[in-house]
Structure 1
Amino acid sequence: MNLSVKPLFARSMTEGFVRRRPAPPSPRRTLLVVLAAVLAIVGVLAGVYYYAVRPVTLRIAVGPTGSDDVKVVQALTQAFAQHRSYVRLKPVQTDGAVASAEELAHGKVDLAIIRGDLDVPNNAQAVAILRKNFVVLWAPPLRKSKGRKAGAKITKVGQLAGRRVGVIGKTPANVNLLKIILRQYGVDPAKVEIMQFPVNEAAEAIRNQKADAYLAAGPLNSRITTEAIAASARDGGNPTFLAIDASEAIAQNHPAYEADEIPAGTFGSPERPDDEVKTISFSHHVVARKGLSDVTVAAFTRQLFAIRQQLMTDFPLAAKIETPDTDKDAVIPAHPGAAAFVDGEERTFLDRYSDFIWWGLMGLSAMGSIGAWFAGYLKQDERHNNSALRERLLDMIALARKCDSPDELDRMQSEADDILRDTLHCFEHGAIEEGALTAFNIALEQFHHAVADRRMLLASLPQNLARAGAPFRATGTL
Structure 2
Amino acid sequence: MGSFTGRRAAMLISTSKAIGGARAPMGNRTQIVLFTLLTLILTAVSVWAARAWLGYPTTVTFVVGPEGGVEAKFAARLAAVVADNSRNLRVSVVSTQDAAQALTRFGRGQFGLAMLRTDAKVPNHARAVAILEHEVLLMLGPKGSKVKALADLRGKKVAVIGADSRSEGFFRHLLELYDISTNGMVIETLPPETALDKLLAPGGYNAVIAIEPLSKISADKRYEELAKRLNGFTLEPIGEAKAIERKSPGTFAESIDAGLLSAAPRIPDDDLDTIGLQWILVARDKLSEATVTDLARLIFENKADLAIDNQFATKIEPADTDKDAFIVAHQGAAQYINDDTKTFLDRYSDILYLTMGCGSIIASIFVGLYSAVTRIRPTRAIELSTAVIEVGERIDDAASIEALEAIQDELEGILKRVLVGLKDGSVSDDGLDAFRLAYELVRDSLDMRVQSLTRRADRKGAAIPGNAGQASAPA
**TM band (smaller chain):** 0.7 to 0.9
Please show how residues 6-405 of structure 1 align to structure 2 within 5 Å.
33-43=35-45, 45-46=47-48, 49-50=51-52, 54-141=56-143, 154-184=147-177, 186-202=179-195, 206=199, 211-222=205-216, 226=220, 229-230=223-224, 232-233=226-227, 235-270=229-264, 271-308=266-303, 311=306, 317-345=312-340, 347=342, 350-354=345-349, 357=352, 360=355, 381-384=377-380, 387-393=382-388, 396-397=391-392, 399-400=394-395, 403-405=398-400
Instruction: State how far apart, in whole Å, the 2-side matches of 1:195 and 1:224 are.
Output: 26
Letter of the aligned partner of 1:247 in structure 2?
A
Letter of the aligned partner of 1:287 in structure 2?
V
Secondary structure, counterpart of 2:326 in structure 1: coil
88-97 or 110-119, larger mean C-alpha shift: 88-97
Identity across matched positions, percent: 27
* CA positional deviation for 1:281: 1.1
Q: Calculate the TM-score normalised by the size of structure 1.
A: 0.74
172-181 or 447-456, larger mean C-alpha shift: 447-456
Runs (5+) with no aligned partner, structure 2: 1-23, 469-475
Secondary structure, counterpart of 1:189 in structure 2: coil
Letter of the aligned partner of 1:351 in structure 2?
D
363-372 or 250-259, larger mean C-alpha shift: 363-372
Q: Deviations over 1:51-93 (max 9, x none)?
A: 7755322112233432334333322222222122543322222
Secondary structure, counterpart of 2:277 in structure 1: strand
Instruction: State how far apart, in whole Å, the 1-side matches of 2:181 and 2:308 are.
Output: 44
178-187 or 328-337, larger mean C-alpha shift: 178-187
* CA positional deviation for 1:254: 0.4
Q: Deviations over 1:385-404 (max 9, x none)?
A: x5423553366457536744
Q: Deviations over 1:91-140 (max 9, x none)?
A: 22234442232121111111111011111111112122111111111023
Instruction: State how far apart, in whole Å, the 2-side matches of 1:108 and 1:116 are.
Output: 21
Q: Which residue of structure 1 aligns with residue 9 of structure 2?
A: none
* CA positional deviation for 1:454: 2.9
Q: 8 Å contact 1:243–1:277 — kept in the other structure? A: yes
200-209 or 405-414, larger mean C-alpha shift: 200-209
Secondary structure, counterpart of 1:120 in structure 2: coil
Instruction: State how far apart, in whole Å, the 2-side matches of 1:183 and 1:375 are.
Output: 80
Please show how residues 399-414 of structure 1 align to structure 2 within 5 Å.
399-400=394-395, 403-406=398-401, 408-414=403-409
Letter of the aligned partner of 1:266 in structure 2?
L
152-161 or 368-377, larger mean C-alpha shift: 368-377
Instruction: State how far apart, in whole Å, the 2-side matches of 1:373 and 1:180 are.
Output: 72
Q: Which residue of structure 1 aligns with residue 7 of structure 2?
A: none
Q: Deviations over 1:382-438 (max 9, x none)?
A: 332x54235533664575367444454244234235435534653563335899999
Secondary structure, counterpart of 1:273 in structure 2: coil
* CA positional deviation for 1:220: 1.9
Instruction: State how far apart, in whole Å, the 2-side matches of 1:232 and 1:441 are.
Output: 114
Letter of the aligned partner of 1:135 in structure 2?
L
Query: What number of residue pairs does the alignment pair up?
Result: 439
Secondary structure, counterpart of 2:322 in structure 1: coil
Secondary structure, counterpart of 1:260 in structure 2: strand
Instruction: State how far apart, in whole Å, the 2-side matches of 1:462 and 1:33 are.
Output: 59
Instruction: State how far apart, in whole Å, the 2-side matches of 1:259 and 1:462 are.
Output: 126
Q: Deviations over 1:310-356 (max 9, x none)?
A: 65697684442112222222221222222333334364563154486
Q: Deviations over 1:175-206 (max 9, x none)?
A: 01211333455542343322222234455864
* CA positional deviation for 1:267: 1.4
Instruction: State how far apart, in whole Å, the 1-side matches of 2:35 and 2:351 are.
Output: 23
Distance 1:243 1:318, change over 3 A: closer
256-265 or 210-219, larger mean C-alpha shift: 210-219
Instruction: State how far apart, in whole Å, the 2-side matches of 1:458 and 1:227 are.
Output: 129
Letter of the aligned partner of 2:85 in structure 1?
H
282-291 or 180-189, larger mean C-alpha shift: 180-189
Q: Calculate the TM-score normalised by the size of structure 2.
A: 0.75
Q: Deviations over 1:193-243 (max 9, x none)?
A: 222222344558648886443222122231599455356446451121122
Two-structure CA RMSD over aligned residues (Å)? 4.5
Instruction: State how far apart, in whole Å, the 1-side matches of 2:70 and 2:293 are.
Output: 25
Instruction: State how far apart, in whole Å, the 1-side matches of 2:191 and 2:295 are.
Output: 34
Instruction: State how far apart, in whole Å, the 1-side matches of 2:185 and 2:242 are.
Output: 23
Secondary structure, counterpart of 2:377 in structure 1: helix
Runs (5+) with no aligned partner, structure 1: 1-22, 143-151, 474-478
48-57 or 23-32, larger mean C-alpha shift: 23-32
302-311 or 112-121, larger mean C-alpha shift: 302-311
* CA positional deviation for 1:34: 4.0
Q: 8 Å contact 1:158–1:186 — kept in the other structure? A: no
Distance 1:221 1:319, change over 3 A: closer
* CA positional deviation for 1:274: 2.1
Instruction: State how far apart, in whole Å, the 2-side matches of 1:228 and 1:391 are.
Output: 111
239-248 or 350-359, larger mean C-alpha shift: 350-359
